[in-house]
Structure 1
Amino acid sequence: MSDNSPGLGKKLENSFERVLWSLRFIVLLGVIFGAISAIILFVVGSFEIFSVLNEAFFEVESHLSHETILIGLIGAIDFYLIGLVLLIFSFGIYELFISQIDIARSCGSFTNILEVRNLDDLKNKILKVIIMVLIVTFFQRVLDLDMASSIDALAMAISICLICIGVYYMGRHNI
């Protein structure tokens, strides 16, 4: 009876490890729904641009100001950037947990933007795009801001300066 115990234990261990390793495929849900969400955001961003252009050029009673047009277009850019975050996330977790995307590498069109070697790479790539989303959102809010005093203008100038400093250091330290 003692001869079978080590063999049975090893079989149980191998079976458990096989099941555990197969659980990595659960990330496919994140990949699929992340990609679907990215597609939706790209479509919504495109509709946003289309509606702004349609109202600006084809509606007779349109009284869109330059700021309103810019705010609409910048809002669409936000949708695109968030869609990019989801695409990078989908590609990254697929490559980390499932397999490399062979077709991208075989076509020669694979760039380092999508290459993810570990979770820190994925985090840094997503972080860069999120920071861009925040900058674009800030710019959108600045356009909509009603400056009532010189303090408002000073606060906006300081905010823009801090963003520039942050982007400079982010690029310099390769974050």
Structure 2
Amino acid sequence: MLERLFENGLWSSRFIVLLAVIFGLIGAVLLFTVASIDVFSTAGYVISTYMNHAHPEHFHEDVVGGIIGAVDLYLIGVVMLLFSFGLYELFISEIDAAKDKEGEESKILAIHSLDQLKDKISKVIVMVLVVGFFQKVGHTEYNGALEMLYFALSITAVAVGLFFLNKVGKH
């Protein structure tokens, strides 16, 4: 009887994962909100610049940087969503609303192990890093052939990394 009581309590303790799920969702909503405000702010900057017939020196870099920064936040928000959905499905229950009329679940949210969750999250994190890299590259000035060579090599390294990332998990 004591063993059964302990095992029931241990099994019920998995519901503590709901804290991570709920706060992960709150984090995702906050990131999506901030990113949307950033896009709106960038749009306001573009409109006001053209209304004033002005064209600041780094106008295009500022606009692209603002949009890429928002994309970065959206991607991190997606990581938080995947994290929340994955933890919920692994520890609590399958998400019935994710299934279509035939009972097949969405491929995006199909997470059946911690390894699958880790793989999905790591792919999105790599994309966040790539977006961050290109955001930094957009604001960098190059003074010489050697710096341009480093720039070309870094772009090549990112492309090769993305190629192999795409190959992971495919047979």
TM-score between the two structures when normalised by the length of structure 2: 0.91
Determine the structure 2 residue equivalent to 1:89: 83
Determine the structure 1 residue equivalent to 2:40: 50
What is the deviation of 1:171? 1.2
**Number of residues of Structure 1 aligned to a counterpart in Structure 2:** 165
What is the deviation of 1:100? 0.2
Question: CA separation in 1, counterparts of 2:169 and 2:93?
Answer: 26
Determine the structure 1 residue equivalent to 2:27: 37
Question: CA separation in 2, counterparts of 1:173 and 1:79?
Answer: 25
The partner residue of 2:111 within 92, 113, 116 is 116
Question: CA separation in 1, counterparts of 2:33 and 2:105?
Answer: 24
Task: Work out whether 1:102 is the aligned partner of 2:96.
Answer: yes
Determine the structure 2 residue equivalent to 1:7: none
Task: Work out whether 1:19 is the aligned partner of 2:30.
Answer: no
Task: Work out whether 1:149 is the aligned partner of 2:144.
Answer: yes
What is the deviation of 1:132? 0.2
Structure 1 residue ranges without an equivalent (≥5): 1-10
TM-score between the two structures when normalised by the length of structure 1: 0.89
Question: CA separation in 2, counterparts of 1:44 and 1:167?
Answer: 27
Kindly provide the amino acid, as one letter, of the partner of residue 20 in structure 2: G
Question: CA separation in 2, counterparts of 1:62 and 1:13?
Answer: 74
Structure 2 residue ranges without an equivalent (≥5): none
What is the deviation of 1:156? 1.1
Kindly provide the amino acid, as one letter, of the partner of residue 90 in structure 1: S
Question: CA separation in 2, counterparts of 1:44 and 1:62?
Answer: 26
Per the alignment, in what secondary structure is the counterpart of residue 58 of structure 1?
helix
Query: How many percent identity over aligned positions?
Result: 45
Runs of 4+ in 1 over 3 A off after TM superposition: 59-62, 106-110
How far does the alpha carbon of each residue in 1:42-73 deviate from its partner, in whole angstroms, 9 at most, with x for none?
A: 00000000001101113536736111100000
How far does the alpha carbon of each residue in 1:7-61 deviate from its partner, in whole angstroms, 9 at most, with x for none?
A: xxxx000000011001100000000000000000000000000001101113536
